[in-house]
Amino acid sequence: MATVVAVSGRIDSVNVDRVTECAKRLVLAEKPFVLDLSGVSSFTPQAIRLLCDIDDVCAAAGVEWAVVGSDAVNRRLRRDSDVVFPVVGSVAEAEHEFDDAVLNRRRLLLPLLSKTA
């Protein structure tokens, strides 16, 4: 099960730091993280910092993550971001991808475990 953080309304220069700090505190080791921005109505260029910071925190913790974008978020990412973020269409899609990744890792480990048994 992933940690899901849902944000709605505007994310702009006024609140991006507060939103970022709150979201970063909820990244847990060994638990996938979904940032659900499907309820975000306005996503200014400064708000891309939120995704960059979440990406850094998740990478440092070794945690897979995904972002569910609203139309406003997806437009901003297409227009202003040089970085490719793990964007998915829904929380369910993100969790499905995380489950697939776990199964693939298990498949890779199974032959190694069989040889040592």
Which tens digits make up the pLDDT trace of 21-77?
999 999 999 899 999 999 999 999 999 999 999 999 999 999 999 999 999 999 999
Place of tokens 């969790």: 95
Closest C-alpha to 4, from 31, 35, 50 = 35
Q: Average model confidence (pLDDT) for the chain? A: 88
Confidence band, pLDDT 50/70/90 cuts, at residue 107: low
Give the class (CATH, top level) of 3-116: alpha beta
Strands 33-43, 65-69: pairing is: parallel
